[in-house]
Amino acid sequence: MESYSPDVLISEEDIALRLEDLGRAITEDYQGQELVVICVLKGAFMFCSDLIKKIELPIKLEFISLSSYGDGTSSSGNVVLDMDISSSIAGKNVLVIEDIVDTGLTIKTLNEMLLVRKPKSLKLASLLFKPSRNEHPAKIDYLGFEIEDKFVIGYGLDYAGRYRELPYVGVLNAGN
């Protein structure tokens, strides 16, 4: 089996510390209310699973799957809904959990899709944000880390389906 060791950009420890802050902020902002969390598959699965453990509120968890990337590192410019959530969000507090806001096209499309369903509120938590590539500004209510324009992998994020299992956010180096 080939071995690989991407360079660490954000360590497991730094992610865990940041998640404590985000979980606390979300808990305070929605005090006494139920939250519908929508995990955007596949990239956000690890961030979502760790973050919801830090939120001290009753949560209804939903999954949605969107794709805009093929197997490469640049967007196709076209967002496709692969799998929808399974219940109504009308009148509910909805928190979308994303892995990364890059050009912003995915989250713009998702926001439009969800707003017509009349949620009580709609907010966004994203582990990462690449400001240099942003074309469609969207408010990220709970942001993990701002990063430079590098293609990152790990902690849920993939390159051609690989590296999602890494416990840190990394960048591919010449050896990979």
C-alpha 28, offset from chain centre? 20
Minimum distance of ligand IMP from residue 16's CB (angstroms): 20
**Site pattern 25..54 for ligand IMP (x: CB under 6 A):** ------------------x-----------
Which strands form 142-146's sheet, in the order they lie side by side? 75-83, 59-69, 35-41, 93-101, 121-129, 142-146
Of 56 and 112, the one with the shorter C-beta distance to ligand IMP is: 112
Determine if the peptide bond prior to 42 is cis (ω within 30°): yes
State yes or no: residue 151 binds ligand IMP (CB under 6 A): yes
Q: Which strands, in side-by-side order, build the sheet including 169-171? A: 7-10, 169-171, 152-153
Which is nearer to ligand IMP, 28 or 160 (by Cβ)?
160
Q: Give the catalytic positions in this structure.
A: 102
Q: Which of 85, 96, 102, 154 binds ligand IMP (CB under 6 A)?
A: 102
Nearer to ligand IMP, 35 or 79 (CB): 79
| Residues recorded for the chain | 176
> Which SS3 state, helix, strand or coil, does residue 75 take?
strand
Which residues sit at the interface with ligand IMP, rule CB under 6 A? 43, 68-69, 75, 98-106, 151-153, 157
